[in-house]
Amino acid sequence: MGDLFWNKVAGVIIGGLLLVMVIREIGGILFPTPPAGELAYPVDADLLAGSGAPVAVETGPVDYGLLLANASASAGERIARRCVACHTFNQGGSSLQGPNLWNVIGRAAASYEGFNFSAGMRNYGAVWGFQNLDEYLENPRAYVPGTAMAFAGIRNQSDRMDLIAYMRQQADNPAPLPDPLPEEEDEASAENGEAVENGEAAENGTAETGDEAEAEEDEAGEDADDDDGATEEAEDETEDNGEEE
């Protein structure tokens, strides 16, 4: 291959690049890009950027007394089948990838003898109750960071209540259910009752005050009549005395 071969190669490459540039220019002339106009549906740029502050949703306390009273332990037993690959629920059951869960409600976390708990669970160390067990089952890794439990969690609250109701029964002495929270209607009725009683008392007090005022006016009238009678008698006596003189 002589020098002319490489010249030809370079010429082909340069010619190809020039052809691409020419095609782009011709395309821009034939099909110009229109200027950007207004959007048919205006979009808030702050919302797209995520600069808006999150809206806080106010939630009241969870009424575990009411939820667990309406939960089904038999339905919870079916839900517990998702856990049997890692846990046993019966008394004296062996530990698998997770500890045995007999008597788990009321037991301190990471306290089951003979099982090697993760550092995250050992650091947690709280006593398992209805509330923290519910929050743990919803999202184990978010509630106890560092736990070795690979379970993704149970998002449905009703399913969690059924499972906790079943776990509560798997014990020597099941933990007592919490009392339901007082209803707001009862509190409002009590307040209304107090307001009615206060209103009636005020009306009674007003009526009594009016009666007392009327009685005082009657007494004042009688006293005035007595004074007028005494004045007339005195005038009569004076006239009699004048006649005698």
Q: What pLDDT, in 10s, does the model give residues 112-126?
A: 999 999 999 999 989
Tokens 């007028």 belong to residue: 228
User: Six-digit token pair at 219?
Assistant: 């007494």
Residue 120 lies in a domain: yes
pLDDT tier for residue 128 given thresholds of 50, 70 and 90 = very high
Residue 17 lies in a domain: no
Cα(105)–Cα(79) distance, integer angstroms:
17
Nearest CA-CA partner of 104 in 154, 64, 115: 115
pLDDT for position 146: 93
Residue 179 lies in a domain: no
AA identity, residue 29: I
Residue 134 lies in a domain: yes
pLDDT for position 29: 80
Cα(130)–Cα(124) distance, integer angstroms:
16
Domain of residue 91, residue span: 64-169
Cα(209)–Cα(202) distance, integer angstroms:
10
Cα(237)–Cα(101) distance, integer angstroms:
113
Residue 159 lies in a domain: yes
Look at 48-57, 104-113, 196-205, 234-243 and tell me which has the smallest mean pLDDT.
Answer: 234-243
pLDDT for position 234: 47
Residue 125 lies in a domain: yes
Q: Which residues contact 133 (CB under 8 A, 6 or more apart)?
A: 104, 105, 164, 167
Please state at what angle helix 130-138 crosses helix 157-169, rounded to 10 degrees.
Answer: 130
Could you read off the pLDDT of 62-105 as tens digits, one per residue? Answer: 999 999 999 999 999 999 999 999 999 999 999 999 999 999 99
Tally of domains in the chain: 1
Cα(63)–Cα(178) distance, integer angstroms:
9
CATH number at residue 133: 1.10.760.10
Residue 98 lies in a domain: yes
Residue 183 lies in a domain: no
End-to-end CA distance of the chain: 180
pLDDT tier for residue 11 given thresholds of 50, 70 and 90 = confident
Our measurement of the distance from residue 85's CA atom to the centroid of its chain's CA atoms, rounded to an integer in Å, reads 34
